[in-house]
Amino acid sequence: MSKAERKVRYGMVGGGEGAFIGAVHRMAAALDGETMLVCGAFSTDGDRNRRTGEALGLAPARVYADIESLLAGERTLPETQRMQALAIVTPNHLHAPMAIAALDSGFDVFSEKPMAATLAEANAIADAVRRSGRRYALAFTYAGYPMIEEARQRVLRGDFGMIRRVEVEYLQGWLSRPIDAGGNKQAEWRTDPARAGLGGCLGDIGSHAFHLAEHVSGLSVEAISADLTTHVPGRQLDDDVAVLLRFKDGARGTIRASQVAAGEENGLRLRIHGTEGGLDWAQMEPNTLTLRWLDRPAELVRAGGPGLAPATTSLLRIPAGHPEGYIEAFANLYRAFGRAVGSGADLDAPGLSDGLRTMQFIDAAVRNSTGTEKWTPLC
């Protein structure tokens, strides 16, 4: 079998010419040379769809008009040629119907987050995963950063003692002005309830923050108290979020997420504190993990440096001092997904349980913010 024949074949829906996240998925999927884009339905605009396929070097017959024709067309091909998995990089309201259709057609799915527009849709995806037996992964990109894995490993082995505090902030400023009303396509759908779903900032970046809180701490949130605010006049969804977290073992935490923090770029920061010390990681300095202790000086742990857990070093590609970042982290998820699809191994990437938990969080935060309860439990 040739190297090309060993590659996992995937298709893509969404991500046409001019779209940001589709290009990111394609770069990440290509980085390790283990996956290959073979087909797509990139845009409902026929000309844009065709141009995207041409630019990507796809055969015209495998550039489909829509997901229905893509799934039908791929099923007619020999098993050695058809796509094995579908990447979904559309606005949120299409995640559920497309994922369910692909799963029921016998294809594995790698979807953009959040999992769906509503919790009910997320549960419908879960049903489709269970009845189809297919794999389902989600683009919680920050789980792919090596130093996030190092933080998780150190919490897991008890370096910091019993965890007491988990704090995540994710601050952006790009929606500080009403660019959604001015026709900015990236902003437009993210602030439209019909396409974004229940939450604006909450679903777009608050979901990342919540996922990191549970993923790294290893703890489960049992209840939340949320304040969702819309600062820009006329905007229909939240653009600023503050959430208090209660974890099942007694730990407490906070999530602060904003897309109207003027001047901020992509200010994602995670801090976890236990009885003996704590950690601090910032996405804009991703190769450094800061450790602080009660009884000794602080430490800087560096990507590629000494003392890293094997699970961390498996995510690194280049020697210490060479920057690795967003694309490489994304590629770590695609590599894990591709190997699970290609070899039948367990999926070592965010998947169904992560998706359901984040959708439960989004649903509870909206209900709490609009209701009268002080605390709302997560289902």
Could you report the per-residue pLDDT of 176-200, keeping only the tens digit for each? 999 999 989 999 999 999 999 999 9
Section 155-166 average pLDDT? 98
Annotated domain spans of the chain: 3-141, 146-318+350-370
Verify cis geometry, omega within 30 degrees of 0, for the bond prior to 193: no
Q: What percent of the chain has pLDDT over 90?
A: 96
Label residues 245-272 b or e (16+ Cβ within 10 Å = b): bbbeeebebbbbbbbbbeebeebbbbbb
Confidence of residue 345 (pLDDT cuts 50, 70, 90): confident
CATH 2.70.170.10 fits 3-141, yes or no: no
Section 125-143 average pLDDT? 98
Q: Amino acid identity of 57?
A: G
Give per-residue pLDDT as tens, 92-123.
999 999 999 999 999 999 999 999 999 999 99
Q: What percent of the chain has pLDDT over 70?
A: 99
pLDDT attached to residue 379: 75
pLDDT attached to residue 277: 98
- Beta-strand pair 136-138/252-258: unpaired
pLDDT attached to residue 11: 98
Q: Which superfamily does 146-318+350-370 belong to? A: Dihydrodipicolinate Reductase; domain 2 (3.30.360.10)
Q: Do domains 3-141 and 146-318+350-370 have the same CATH topology?
A: no
pTM exceeding 0.75: yes
- Beta-strand pair 8-14/85-89: parallel
pLDDT attached to residue 215: 98
pLDDT attached to residue 6: 84
